[in-house]
């Protein structure tokens, strides 16, 4: 039986979910990253931390509690044993290295693992929020984003052009086309999403990258 066709955002969320380990403390950025828990593998349960003062958030079930929202202001639920606390304690958790994984969207990521994800040219944005703390405090930083901007321009660049959220902080980039790991040698293309060919990824990626031997059977520059 043919499987359900996934949207680009669903493809990204499902792939990111494979990076989670049972018991991980995970912080999810607004938008696409909040879809990740829908695709967690069987037997993998994570503890969701939110910088607005919660640990143990879960998808909304039942009535909306106006005082219980995630960092994006969306109604949420909380697991039995979850906890509420002030922003000071929340950021002590983040800055203290107690978050195992953070998943964030991105406007630009570059070959050095720099991330720009908060300032949209021509639009008023209040600031980067907790992202600056998350990318420096979390043990693993995953950027989950569509491969190109709405106008078709590349988002994976040789060097970010927008103001940075963090410098050399990204560990993994997951798009609807591919999965890149950031290494000391630069970007490594580790996976192609189902049905995607290497030439398509090359055409839509500004940054140079190394192709993993698992894809071509040998290392080469792209």
**Closest among 31, 196, 16, 6 to 107, alpha carbons compared:** 31
Catalytic one among 51, 108, 176, 190?
Answer: 51
**DSSP letter string, 149-172:** -TTS-BSEESS--SPPSBSS---E
Count Cα atoms within 13 angstroms, Cβ side, for 159. 0
97 Cβ neighbours under 8 A, 6+ residues apart = 137, 138, 139
The SS3 call for residue 12 is: helix
* Annotation says 51 is catalytic: yes
| Catalytic positions | 51
């Amino acid at each position: 039986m043919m499987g359900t066709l996934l949207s680009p955002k669903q493809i990204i969320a499902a792939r990111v979910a494979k990076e989670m380990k049972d018991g991980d403390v995970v912080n999810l950025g607004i938008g696409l990253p909040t879809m990740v828990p829908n695709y967690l593998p069987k037997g993998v349960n994570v503890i969701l931390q939110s910088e607005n003062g919660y640990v143990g958030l879960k998808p909304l079930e039942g009535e909306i509690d106006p005082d219980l929202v995630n960092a994006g202001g969306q109604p949420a639920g909380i697991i039995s044993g979850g906890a509420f606390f002030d922003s000071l304690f929340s950021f002590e958790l983040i800055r203290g290295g107690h978050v195992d994984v953070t998943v964030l969207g991105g406007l630009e990521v570059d070959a050095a693992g720099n991330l720009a994800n908060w300032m949209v040219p021509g639009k008023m944005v209040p600031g980067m929020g907790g992202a600056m703390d998350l990318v420096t405090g979390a043990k693993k930083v995953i950027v989950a984003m569509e491969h190109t901007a709405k106008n078709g321009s590349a988002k994976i660049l040789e060097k970010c052009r927008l103001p940075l959220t963090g410098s050399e902080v990204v560990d993994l980039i997951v798009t609807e086309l591919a999965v890149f790991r950031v290494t000391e040698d630069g970007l490594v293309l580790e996976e192609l999403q189902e049905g995607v060919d290497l030439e398509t990824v090359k055409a839509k990626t500004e940054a140079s990258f190394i192709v993993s031997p698992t894809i071509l059977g040998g290392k080469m520059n792209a």
